[in-house]
Chains A and B, each alone.
Chain A
């Protein structure tokens, strides 16, 4: 099972053809394409139509979450509708399943939000604005957890797809002061509790590519300025045999 992933393509109306050119061979190289948020520059429907145009040649399933840029114009429903019209599955607290050659992969997706990481994180204390900020992250983490739990029993592999970062390792290279705006450990806790095989996120353009959750799940920052290529391909291998009977020993 080969999964292609990229985040932060930031398509604007002046971007025609730039993303499509990088996706020319994706159909033969991967079984699935993940887009980890910030598909558009500021979430305008005209930009979402530009994204749809860039994906015309992609025949493998495309699964996406939105990012903060996709929310800026306040026209999320229209953006989602335009992407869905061209077959993109846009996840927001839900999961989808893709089957390839008898193997199934479940993808649970949310945008996520900020708050920082253990020891230097925001808490829901004091002013309503602070409680709202942390509350948003807690809701996103809970929705991700529930989506992972719902999809996991029915699939061979599970991927958590986010825009914001669940761990600080993939932020290395960013200024420490902005970590609380780039992700939250609450997202990692949700993933570790529910279980997954891989986490893909974006958002941190100056961050690092590889990290791991405290529970040992691999995390990849697929932000295009980080990976410096059209997309990354991860091979999730053959499915493990679950609940295999223990062989009798003599």
Chain B
């Protein structure tokens, strides 16, 4: 019998926290039908790619859809007055 999807989500999130290629807790993992959909933010394009790689190894038989974004934070001059 295939692994229930809830356990798969848990195993993927554990791996993303502990696998040296990922080390990211902020990934939202959804299993829907035959797809694993990843959302959230990665620090770099390389980390984004490695996260999908770690997930693909665990989610045998599923298509991994990587919708994570990579932060490219720009400076801006907005100042919030708190006085």
Contact = CB atoms under 8 A, between A and B. Distances in A.
A195 interface: no
Most chain A CB inside 10 Å of its own CB: which residue of B20, B28, B78, B83: B83
Given A10-B43, A18-B44, A231 B82 contact: no
B82 A2 contact: no
B47 A12 contact: yes
B73 A229 contact: yes
Given A232-B80, A235-B83, A225 B26 contact: yes
B73 to A, nearest CB: 4
A142 B81 CA distance: 30
Nearest to A223: B26
A22 B82 contact: no
The size bracket of the interface on A is: 35 or more
A237 interface: yes
Contacts, number: 86
Contacts of A231: 73, 75
Contacts of A198: 82
Interface in A179-222: 197-198, 205-206, 218
Interface string A1-34: 0100010011110110010001111100100000
B1 interface: no
Most chain A CB inside 10 Å of its own CB: which residue of B44, B75, B79: B75
Contacts of A23: 75
Given A72-B23, A206-B26, A224-B73, A14 B44 contact: yes
B79 A235 contact: yes
A22 B80 contact: no
Contact of B82 (A14, A25, A234): A234
B82 A225 contact: no
A111 interface: no
A2 B77 CA distance: 12
B71 A224 contact: yes
Given A233-B78, A234-B80, A237-B82, A42 B73 contact: no
Interface of B: 20, 23-26, 28, 40-41, 43-44, 46-47, 71-83
9 contacts: A22-B75, A29-B79, A205-B40, A206-B28, A225-B71, A227-B73, A229-B74, A233-B78, A237-B83
